[in-house]
Amino acid sequence: AQSVTQPDIHITVSEGASLELRCNYSYGATPYLFWYVQSPGQGLQLLLKYFSGDTLVQGIKGFEAEFKRSQSSFNLRKPSVHWSDAAEYFCAVGEGGNTPLVFGKGTRLSVIA
């Protein structure tokens, strides 16, 4: 069965600084990988996804993520964080088709001036 680990529960960065959120997955074949963002009181919004092709994927709001099969990782990055990026970020893995996604426990991002 798939599983997702997000090692960092809470990260604080200064506005304008770079950001990297870690995600490690467990799955035997090539996974479908996703990053979602959740603002307080809101549902989850899809930031980006990967299932084949270029291992560096671009998403919305200036985010990108890199799939590294050798490390079973799919880390999310942003070169310059804005205060509006403060939210909860979830990594998710799926098998493809209509199999349900399995989510990590999330990383809460705080942005300070």
Partner 1 sequence: EAGVAQSPRYKIIEKRQSVAFWCNPISGHATLYWYQQILGQGPKLLIQFQNNGVVDDSQLPKDRFSAERLKGVDSTLKIQPAKLEDSAVYLCASSLGTGDGYTFGSGTRLTVV
Residues that bind partner 1 (CB under 8 A): 4, 32, 34, 36, 41-46, 49, 51, 90, 92, 94-106
Residue number, 32 or 78, with CB nearest to partner 1: 32
Comparing CA positions, the residue from 75, 80, 94 lying closest to residue 15 is: 80
Residue number, 51 or 83, with CB nearest to partner 1: 51
Q: How far is the CB of 113 from partner 1 (least distance, A)?
A: 26
Residue number, 63 or 106, with CB nearest to partner 1: 106
61 Cβ contact partners less than 8 Å away, ≥ 6 residues apart: 37, 47, 78, 85
User: Cα Rg for the chain, rounded, in angstroms?
Assistant: 13
